[in-house]
Structure 1
Amino acid sequence: MNAVAAHRPDGDGRSSVSLAELIALRARVGRARMAPTPSHAARSGQQSSRLYGRGMDYAESRVYQAGDDVRRLDWRLTARSGKLHTKLFQEDREGCLMILLDTHASMRFGTRRRFKSVQAARLAACAAWVAARAGERVGIMAFGQVDALLRPRSGARGALAVCGALAEWDVHGEQQPERAEPLSDALLRISRLLHGANRVLLISDGFSCDADARQRWLALRQHVGASALVVADALEQSLPPSGRYPLEHAGERYDVVLHGERQRRAFQQTLGAGSARLGQLAQSTNTRWRNVDTQTDPLTAVSAVLGSAKGAR
């Protein structure tokens, strides 16, 4: 867990990320009925079965972890690096989930329960705990206000590291000037930083989705299984009722007064433009995706796209 995130005052879980809440999601995932992950080629985006035997094809080596079979030590790499490494074979290759998190200023908005940025962090943390329980490594890359990468790690340590990064990035992003990065650029970057990942989960409100993103998304899907969670506020999803809406942007507060249906519809379409674009991209590329509002249970949404939980007991 990141020391900065661990020692700062915890967020309120509404406008700022609560590290305690992200860690507590571990218990919810632990109570979920988990479906076995099907055996699949790594390119399909599913982890292969963890069967042991002789005559299997060598896949890769990684740093030794407690519980690894000492008979599988990679002595040559150990000698070169000075650190113990274990050989992995095709049939017991670890699954690896990389989370791509949107941290643009547009995510710091919400009218129901919590900001989109807070809901996005809850979704990312839940995905990390699901991956850890499934025996996968998990890492995360942020784009937008925050440009950062947490390399994949295994087990609870990996999920805790993701939670700590989410809490720290939330504070860091709030303190940064507005910075824009097209989704296409972020997809190109993560495609070069997969580190053996076989699944990618995008979490975004879609406002960064640009014209080149579709082609980059298709290119990414040639190598990994890719899914998306599109985070949206209630005002972005449905026609708002007539009334006065106090809003704040870049430190300035102002009121938006909505009366006629045409005015209300134009307001909703403007606010919902990002989620509409990203949803259209997902549909047109046959991507597994879900719209997620700021009140949705994160485990339900994550399970829908990662397909690794069957509800809670």
Structure 2
Amino acid sequence: MYKQLIRPFLFNFDPEKVHYFTFSLVRFAHSLGLGGFFRSKFQVKDKRLEREVFGLTFPNPVGLAAGFDKDAKLYKELSNFGFGFIEIGTVTPKPQSGNPKKRLFRLPKDTAIINRMGFNNEGVEAAVARLKKNKNVLIGGNIGKNKVTPNEEAVNDYIICFEALFDYVDYFVVNVSSPNTPNLRALQDKEPLTKLLQTLKKKNSEKPSPKSILLKIAPDLTEGQLRDIISIVTDTKIDGVIATNTTISREGLQSEHKGETGGLSGKPLTNRSTEVIRFLHTESKGAFPIIGVGGIHSADDALEKLEAGASLVQLYTGFIYEGPALVRDINKAILKTEG
């Protein structure tokens, strides 16, 4: 029903407006008591789906990627669509409006999206206020820096977000790979990235019960840069990698908005993100867990990433194009592979 009726209707309107309209619709449906209906339709409960990864027990390996519920406004309701975990953010210390609109574009011929949102969010304290109400949804906290913060001072922004969110998320993701904040990707270079991760790791070690820290990387890194990432992750002893963020590549695109500036997500990213996962897993000899994200539009896409070395997967653009049945289909396919 989603692909035949709901998606064609929604795709008639501006993507960003539709995003907020959909949030209102989901919230309204839950206010009518339909949460149980969504759970019965989309959740797949089976102990065989549980995954123990970086010290956490995930009810299933399919998560919602950061960027969809930036401000932790709908994590409880979204979990009813079958996700094993929800990643909120990217959040920054101070609220910021992000880049000028229009900044979100559908590429239907490519089954893709380009965004240049620019870390628009209400600030970390607003997210904390909502997360205080969380009871049983496993939450990842994706953290970044404010646009006005120079790279030399970026570490302070990450510390502010880390400290504020610490009691309310289950793991952290350090986002230095969005293409939509000027110069942010420069923080992926070996020296600044090592300093940033070492600082957060030190703060983490001072806590009575440290949380897992992951690094989210771009798909546009060279093999040499990926080897640097492996070295940084093993040297700093952070807990894992999310591969990958959006790409700045525009190779092979057909749609009207293919020339828009921003990060490209969706099917054009499927193969590259899997290549990055396989490279990291093989070169590191499985030294750390990987969350695979990028171009998952079918159960087969998800299985490919798991076979390449991912421990968990995340959806975003695939969820928009395929609907919540995709979460159920992936979990069912995983159960089939496990006999």
TM-score norm. by structure 2 comes to 0.37
- Rg larger in 1 or in 2? 1
Between Structure 1 and Structure 2, which shows a larger proportion of strand residues? Answer: 1
TM-score norm. by structure 1 comes to 0.39
